[in-house]
Amino acid sequence: MNTQWFSHDNAASEGSFDKWWDTYGEWFDSEDQLLSGESGIQRLHTQDGRLLYSKRQINHFHHDLVHPFGEPTILHEMRALQALAKLGIRVPKVVFSAARKTETEWQALLITESLDGFISLEAWYAQPMPANLRQQLIQQLANTIARMHRAGWEHGRLYPKNIFVKVTGDREPHVEVALLGLAKANHRLTAYSASKHDYEQFKQHRKPMPDEDWKAFATVYRDVMESDYAR
């Protein structure tokens, strides 16, 4: 079989493409067959007790100015994951990522570790939270998103289901924020262009975040975006 390989130099390479392509788990999310190709996510339980997520794609492409004819979406998402990680933003740890072109189709894989202890923003707001943790969340969320935008990165799908939250510590609880769902992320020329779409998208789809918390977030976010240093 004539096969072409594509990956990133900095991508993790735990195992081989064939190993992961032939490993199946339970479907967590499947987009079935779309015009842009086939894409789905499976949960994998490894023998050493890890929970992994395997995104599998066939003929699924991302198009932009650099790749007008498209490139495997997973390679595009991998670059975004690497960029945000370098910014100090919590994202899923990559175990394996690569794409290959066979005689009949493009196949691509992205294997990531589970964000243990994190829950979606939707689930976080579905349970009662004290005021101090809500304030911490607002600050950390604003810091995280502003750091991404100030570096010129647009998330592209800034919905509550792609924002994850974790509270650590008993005596002094601390809120952590992580970002997922970066398949449509793009690097823009300015912080403003990176921010505009994400901000309006999050504002429109922010539920179940209460209006009070949204207003507080908007204030903190603007302050961080305009400050000399984004924490």
Residues of the chain with CATH 3.30.200: 4-113
Give the pLDDT of residue 13.
54
Domain with CATH 1.10.510 in the chain: 119-226
Task: Identify the pLDDT of residue 14.
Answer: 62
How far apart CA 214 and CA 206 sit, in angstroms, is 8
Q: List the alpha helices (DSSP H) in 87-165.
A: 121-125, 131-150
Determine whether 200 is exposed, middle or buried from the number of CB atoms within 10 Å of its CB (0-12, 13-18, 19+): exposed
Q: Which fold has domain 119-226?
A: Transferase(Phosphotransferase); domain 1 (1.10.510)
The structure tokens 């498209």 sit at 70
Helices and strands in the chain: count of H runs, count of E runs: 6, 13
How far apart CA 90 and CA 178 sit, in angstroms, is: 5
Average pLDDT over residues 171-187: 94
**Tens-place pLDDT, residues 71-114:** 899 999 999 999 999 999 999 999 999 999 988 999 999 999 99
Average pLDDT of the chain is: 89
Distance set, CA 202 to CA 111, 158, 211 (Å): 27, 6, 13
**Dist CA 5 CA 19 (whole Å):** 15
pLDDT in tens, 6-64: 555 444 456 689 999 999 899 877 655 454 568 889 999 988 889 999 999 999 998 88
Fold adopted by 4-113 = Phosphorylase Kinase; domain 1 (3.30.200)
Spell out the SS3 assignment of 63-84.
Answer: CCCCCCCCEEHHHHHHHHHHHH
72 prior amide bond cis, ω within 30: no
Does residue 150 have a pLDDT over 60? yes
The percentage of the chain sitting over the pLDDT mark of 70, rounded to a whole number, equals: 88
The total number of residues shown for the chain amounts to 231
User: What pLDDT score was predicted for residue 105?
Assistant: 92
